[in-house]
């Protein structure tokens, strides 16, 4: 994970955790304080750049306030320093995608035998390893590709999370309805995150302490709990509806309200900048 420092002019740079200062890259906006002050913005123009020109690089500040961020970052730095030279960041990105496919296959196969749970858990681990280590390895070796790496990594993230949630829904430990409901919330939060990267040059890797790593652990913990409890947990009904679907819908509603609150508060916080 990147660790950035922001100076008062809004310039982001790699911090000391990655050795000497590598580069100072200007961002479009200063990260706002509660006062809502802003820095100057480049003059607007009506000129449209030629389509054959390269786009402006995606430089942004990464913010990760998840519960496990500190411990995870230390582990990733340790792994990056010991990764064989034959393994590239692209290999790790592919590993994460393969891991997600194993999750879906393992969860679906659990209808045949609960022993396939081990395949799903292995897939979750490989998905975490590939998805989390690829960027750290690139920065450790100083071979970053901010544009291509960002596009490839997050495209694979969307595919991977679809595999994971659909696989969970196909398993005997969840329902398709609840799995798709959870996936819709993930995609909603992801869309909001990418909008903030585009407009504010800030990439939030977690919300309310929850990031991708914590989400994977929740999926694994729920699966083990449902396996231990038995099929009664999923089959129990209330007024003709499965209780698990009612519960997940209630949780989804609470998260959706929190999401709307986050959007509203960010609009209030950033509007003085965006209006200029």
User: How many C-beta atoms lie closer than 10 Å to residue 126's C-beta?
Assistant: 20
pLDDT grade for 62, boundaries at 50, 70 and 90: confident
39-43, 86-90, 203-207, 233-237: range with lowest mean pLDDT: 39-43
**What pLDDT is attached to residue 264?**
92
Q: What is the mean pLDDT of residues 87-91?
A: 96
Edge to edge, the sheet with strand 11-14 lists 4-6, 11-14, 24-26
Computed over every residue of the chain, the mean pLDDT equals 82
The partner residues of 61 in beta bridges, in order of sequence, read 202
Match 């209780």 to its residue by tokens: 243
Q: What is the mean pLDDT of residues 192-209?
A: 87
Higher model confidence: residue 206 or residue 50? 206
Angle between helices 176-200 and 146-170 (to 10 degrees): 160
Query: What is the Cα–Cα distance from 108 to 274, expressed in whole angstroms?
Result: 46
pTM: predicted TM-score of the whole model, two decimal places: 0.76
11-15, 125-129, 132-136: range with lowest mean pLDDT: 11-15
- What values do phi and psi take at 210, rounded to 5? -105, 125
Dihedral of CA atoms 243, 246, 251, 252 in degrees, nearest 10, equals 140
- The radius of gyration of the chain from alpha carbons, rounded to an integer in Å, stands at 21
pLDDT grade for 249, boundaries at 50, 70 and 90: very high
Q: Which long-range contacts (CB under 8 A, 24 or more apart) does 218-223 make?
A: 219/124, 219/164, 219/168, 220/121, 220/124, 222/173, 222/174, 223/107, 223/117, 223/120, 223/121, 223/168, 223/171, 223/173
Match 């020109």 to its residue by tokens: 53
Q: Are 166 and 184 in contact (CB under 8 A)?
A: no
Query: What is the Cα–Cα distance from 73 to 68, expressed in whole angstroms?
Result: 8
Q: Say what percent of the chain tops pLDDT 90.
A: 59
């Amino acid at each position: 994970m990147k660790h950035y420092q922001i100076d008062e002019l809004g310039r982001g740079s790699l911090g000391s955790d990655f050795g000497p200062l590598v580069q100072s890259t200007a961002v479009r906006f200063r990260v706002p304080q509660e006062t809502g002050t802003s820095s100057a913005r480049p003059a607007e123009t009506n000129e449209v750049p030629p389509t054959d020109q390269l786009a402006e690089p995606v430089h942004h500040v990464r913010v990760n306030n998840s519960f496990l961020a500190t411990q995870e970052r230390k582990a990733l730095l340790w792994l990056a320093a010991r990764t064989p030279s034959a393994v590239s960041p692209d290999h790790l990105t592919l590993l994460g995608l393969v891991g997600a496919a194993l999750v879906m296959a393992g969860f679906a196969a659990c209808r045949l035998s609960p022993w396939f749970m081990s395949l799903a858990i292995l897939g979750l681990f490989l998905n975490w390893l590939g998805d989390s280590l690829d960027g750290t390895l690139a920065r450790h070796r100083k071979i970053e590709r901010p544009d291509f790496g960002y596009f490839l990594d997050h495209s694979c993230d969307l595919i991977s999370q679809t595999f994971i949630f659909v696989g969970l829904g196909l398993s005997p430990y969840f329902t398709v309805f609840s799995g798709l409901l959870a996936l819709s919330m993930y995609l909603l939060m992801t869309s909001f995150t990418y909008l903030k990267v585009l407009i504010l040059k800030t990439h939030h890797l977690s919300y309310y302490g929850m990031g991708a790593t914590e989400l994977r652990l929740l999926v694994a913990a729920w699966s083990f709990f449902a396996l231990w409890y038995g099929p009664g947990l999923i089959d129990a009904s209330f007024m003709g509806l499965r209780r698990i679907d009612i519960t997940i819908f209630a949780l989804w509603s609470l998260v959706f309200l929190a999401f709307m609150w986050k959007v509203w508060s960010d609009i209030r916080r950033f509007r003085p900048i965006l209006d200029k």
